[in-house]
Amino acid sequence: MEGGPSARIREGDCAVLKRDEVFKAVSVLRRRKIIFEKQWFYLDNAIGHIYGTTFEVTSGGNLQPKQEVEETTTETKEAGTDNRNIVDDGKSQKLTHDDIKALKDKGIKGQEIVQQLIENSTTFRDKTEFAQDKYIKKKKKKYEAVITIVKPSTRILSTMYYAREPGKINHLRYDTLAQMLTLGNIHAGNKMIVMETCAGLVLGAVMERMGGYGSIIQMYPGGGPVRAATSCFGFPKPFFDNLHEFPLSKVESLLSGTFTTETLPADPEENTLVEEESNGLSEEKQTSLQETEEEPAPEAPMEINPAEEQDTMDINAEDVEFKENKEKENKENVREKQIKQWERRKKLKEAAALLSEKNADGLIVASKFHPTPLLLSLLEFVAPSRPFVVYCQYKEPLLECYTKLRERGGVINLKLSETWLRNYQVLPDRSHPKLTMSGGGGYLLSGITVILEKGKADSSNSEALKMEEPSSKRCKLQDLPC
């Protein structure tokens, strides 16, 4: 599916812009102004190039593939050994702010500006070799703006979301997401249940790992599933053929056998859903009309910073589009609406039927809701001997969930865990950890389902407790002689 011709950037693609460690998801469209890292440009020239190409922004906002330049280090290297004579008098740089601005305005290449800065720094030659290196790197970062266009992947999108909008994904760090995919044994052919309020990022990650094989039932709260992040992956159409959705508010009725599609709160759902699915299309229409990129289209929320406000922003945007849609729809004939409603009911029935088989191959939960009620109900739909994973930003709800699951029975190998991620700077003679990320990545509760013997739940629970509690003592005893 990947590789081959699709390795080239095409119009309409979902792509990710990368500058140093900063990412931004965009759709590739002609004559569309993109603002990224305080720069604006058009993606027109990128079309046709291979993914992974690095571009320079030239005047007029055009992108030009970056030529590999030989580093101009012809002059003999001169460097100090320590900083005993370097005084911070604020006068070491002879170029003023205005000088630098003038250089920039003249459209001089970033590379040359950096060279000028070095030449006009009185202390540069006295700096140690390492300090010179650092100085150049810092200036390059500021003045040599290069942008790489890469293909979206879970790696890139989860890193991007965690850095830019952690509030939207409940602070699910990318290494935690990686754990979930592995602990959940996500692979092609599975029938998965996914309940997430992570903008569709977790759903997208599961879809990527399933490669279009098998089926996914997304449980959603409210009027419809949110898939803003899912759309950033740019999955081919067939990936959506076996993606189903089912409203959380219908779970109890499905479990108790009173489920019908008649009581559907159909209208609002239908609209949000339609809007969600036609996003790509409506966006294209809009952008052909307008030049600026200020409206919060799927990738635009990336630009807004205070993460907590995201949800409200989104709802507003949806509302506007919703109203527009409604107006449009009023004009359209009622018959079409009925067909859509009928199709939606059919889809809902399909999802209900899939769930009712109670043979799902796993359950993934990552939401803003309390995990316990979700788990206690949704596990009913999972086959025995299948893994489940629950994410929560906080540890305490998972402690409770652990206890409740034990009381319920039908689960074994419960494990509450967290991962720490450490980043390293590796350079000759300058290797050290970069930053710790011990906090904020969230917690996971995972386990495996087994056949639940009804009525025996209580005794099996006490047995299970007996089994597990002393076993840790056993472990300790076993550890001692080693």
Partner 1 sequence: MSFVEYGDTIKDGDTAIVFLGHESMFPVKVQHGTVTQTKYGVIRHSTDLIGKKYGSKVTCSKGGWVFILHPTPELWTMNLPHRTQILYSTDISLITMMLELKPGSIVCESGTGSGSLSHALIRTVAPTGHLYTVEFHQQRAEKAQEEFREHGVEHLVTVTNQDVCKNGFGVSNIADAVFLDIPSPWEAIGHAKSALKAEGGRICSFSPCIEQVQRTCLAMEEYGFTEINTLEILLRVYNVRTISLQIPDLGKAAEDNSSTGFDSSKPSDQGSPCANLQQGTVQFKSGVPLREVVGHTGYLTFATKSLV
Residue 185 in contact with partner 1, rule: CB under 8 A: yes
- Determine which residue in the list 44, 99, 144, 175 makes contact with partner 1, applying CB under 8 A: 175
Measured distance CA(173)–CA(167) in Å, rounded: 11
Among 25, 117, 160, 177, contact with partner 1 (rule: CB under 8 A): 177
Distance of alpha carbon 271 from alpha carbon 323, whole angstroms: 10
Asked if residue 435 binds partner 1 (CB under 8 A), the reply is no
Residues 369-388 that bind partner 1 (CB under 8 A): 383-387
Q: Where are the alpha helices (DSSP H) in 262-388?
A: 266-277, 279-289, 310-331, 334-356, 371-378
Give me the least distance between CB of 362 and partner 1, in Å please: 9
Residue 415 in the binding site for partner 1 (CB under 8 A):
yes
Least distance from partner 1 to the Cβ atom of residue 288, Å: 31
Which residue in 27, 170, 190, 367 binds partner 1 (CB under 8 A)? 190
Report if residue 179 touches partner 1, rule: CB under 8 A. Answer: yes
Give dist(CA 162, CA 256) in Å, integer: 39
Paired sense of beta strands 54-58 and 62-65, if any: antiparallel
Contact pick of 183, 216, 229, 251 for partner 1 (by CB under 8 A): 183
Find the shortest distance in angstroms from Cβ 290 to partner 1: 34
Site for partner 1 in 5-44 (CB under 8 A): 7
- Binding part of the chain for partner 1, among 28-36, 49-57, 242-250, 313-321 by CB under 8 A, reads 49-57
Q: Which member of 3, 90, 306, 455 binds partner 1 (CB under 8 A)?
A: 3
Of these, 12, 48, 52, 268, which contacts partner 1 (CB under 8 A)?
Answer: 52
Among 111, 115, 279, 419, binds partner 1 (CB under 8 A): 419
Token pair in block for residue 141: 């970062």
CB of 247 to partner 1, least distance (A): 27
- Which of the residues 124 through 153 are near partner 1 (CB under 8 A)? 153
The answer to whether 293 and 300 are in contact (CB under 8 A) is yes
Longest Cα–Cα distance in the chain: 84
Nearer to partner 1, 156 or 352 (CB): 156
The only residue of 174, 381, 388, 391 in contact with partner 1, by rule CB under 8 A: 174
CB under 8 A, 24+ apart: contacts of 40-44: 41/147, 43/15, 43/149
- How many CA atoms are closer than 13 Å to the CA of 252, on its beta-carbon side? 2
Residues 231-290 that bind partner 1 (CB under 8 A): none
Q: Is 467 in the site for partner 1 (CB under 8 A)?
A: yes
* C-beta of 74 vs 431, nearer to partner 1: 431
Which of 154, 231, 287, 393 is close enough to bind partner 1 by CB under 8 A? 154
- Residue 193's Cα: distance from chain center in Å? 19
The H or E element containing residue 54 is strand 54-58
Closest separation between CB of residue 122 and partner 1, Å? 31
Task: Please identify, using beta-carbon distances, which residue of 263 and 403 lies nearer to partner 1.
Answer: 403
Q: Which C-beta is closer to partner 1: that of 213 or that of 342?
A: 213
Toward partner 1, which CB reaches closer, 336 or 463?
Answer: 463
The DSSP code for 70 is P
Q: How does strand 362-366 pair with strand 54-58?
A: unpaired
Q: Is the dihedral of CA 401, 405, 411, 413 positive or negative?
A: positive
Give the relative orientation of helices 457-479 and 396-408 as an angle to the nearest 10 degrees: 120
Our CB check for partner 1 shows the closer of 271 and 372 to be 372
φ, ψ for residue 388, nearest 5 deg? -135, 150
The footprint of partner 1 on this chain (CB under 8 A) covers a number of residues equal to: 80
Determine the residue type at 273.
L
Alpha helices in 192-232 (DSSP H): 201-210, 228-232
* Closest separation in Å from C-beta 432 to partner 1: 9
Establish if 481 lies at the interface with partner 1 (CB under 8 A): no
Start-to-end C-alpha separation, the chain: 51
Residue-wise DSSP of 245-267: EEEGGGHHHHHHT---STT--HH
Quick one: 99 or 175, whose CB is closer to partner 1? 175
Between 316 and 385, name the residue whose CB sits nearer to partner 1: 385
* 3-state DSSP assignment of residue 296: coil
The stretch among 50-58, 260-268, 277-285, 336-344 that binds partner 1 (CB under 8 A) is 50-58
Question: 26 burial class (0-12, 13-18, 19+ CB within 10 angstroms)?
Answer: buried
Q: If you compute the radius of gyration of the chain from its CA atoms, what whole number of angstroms results?
A: 27
How far is Cα 458 from Cα 406, in angstroms, rounded to an integer? 9
Residue ranges in 335-364 that form contacts with partner 1 under rule CB under 8 A = 359, 361
Q: For residue 71, state whether it binds partner 1 (rule: CB under 8 A).
A: no
Subset of residues 192 to 221 that bind partner 1, contact rule: CB under 8 A: 208-213
